[in-house]
Homo-oligomer: A and B are copies of this chain.
Amino acid sequence: MARQNIFDNDEFFKGYKSLRDKEVNANNLFEIPTMHSLLPDLTGKRVLDLGCGFGEHCVDYIKRGAVRVVGVDISENMLKVAREENSDPNITYLNMPMEDVAAIDETFDVVISSLALHYVENFKGVVEAVSGLLTDGGIFLFSQEHPFSTCYSGKYDRWTRDDNGRKIYANIADYCVERRNDSTWFVEGVQRYHRMFSTTVNTLADAGFKIVKMAEPYPTEELVDKYPEYYDLYHRPDFLFVKAVKQD
């Protein structure tokens, strides 16, 4: 199985970094606040971050009281930034695909993944590996692109617009066909894996997880007043969050 390492593509990396450096973006407005609202108390906890990227989250977990953080990413480009900008004696950055984390010889109290799992073909394999690395009662918390978004294949327009160009509805096709979708995001051929809601839920249940919270963040009215372009998220949320507890 070929594993995508798009973040080591220089052109993609530059585009992605410039987007993340913008002050107002969907990550800052929705993804990060929602993730924070779902974080368990990390005091004294050992944390694994899957797809840690630049490592900003890893240092934040240390500040929140984690005693040990392991950040895993497939991209050495990303980890180079992480080691330069977000190092800490209690953080270890590992360059490996998420699919290989079962090889890590430690256990964790919390496993977190921010916007990475939609890049993974073998979701079941990763969820089972996470289950194996977590202590009983441990938390698995992740965000991913929403199934409404991963199901977009690039073969049609994402949106139907009115005569004024305003988005009036999201176009959804082949939601029930689970597949890899190659779309263009800075570069051609960014591979995302589309999975139905039910597949995500069932994969977690089958691996011994109890889902305790799910979130599909959308803007407040105040935020839409300030940034009207985010009204779209009422039609089709960008992100899906799942918080699950490992049970016996």
Binary B-proximity of A201-212 (CB < 8 A = 1, otherwise 0): 110010000111
Interface size on A, residues (CB 8 A): 34
Interface status of A196 (Cβ within 8 A of chain B): yes
Neighbouring B residues of A197 by C-beta, 8 Å: 197, 214, 216
Please give the count of copies of this chain that the complex contains.
2
Give A136-192 interface residues, CB cut-off 8 Å to B. Answer: 148, 156, 160, 168-177
The closest CB in chain B to the CB of A237 belongs to: B176
- Is the CB of A235 closer than 8 A to any CB of chain B? yes
Complex Cα distance, B170 from A214, in Å, reads 24
- Could you tell me the distance between the alpha carbons of A237 and B197 in the complex, rounded to whole angstroms? 12
Q: Is A39 on the interface with B (CB-CB < 8 A)?
A: no
Do A236 and B196 touch (CB < 8 A)? no
Q: Is the CB of A172 within 8 A of B173?
A: no
Q: Is A63's beta carbon under 8 Å from chain B? A: no
Map CB proximity to B onto A38-54 as digits: 1 under 8 Å, 0 otherwise: 00000000000000000
Q: Which B residues are CB-close (under 8 A) to A171?
A: 160, 169-172
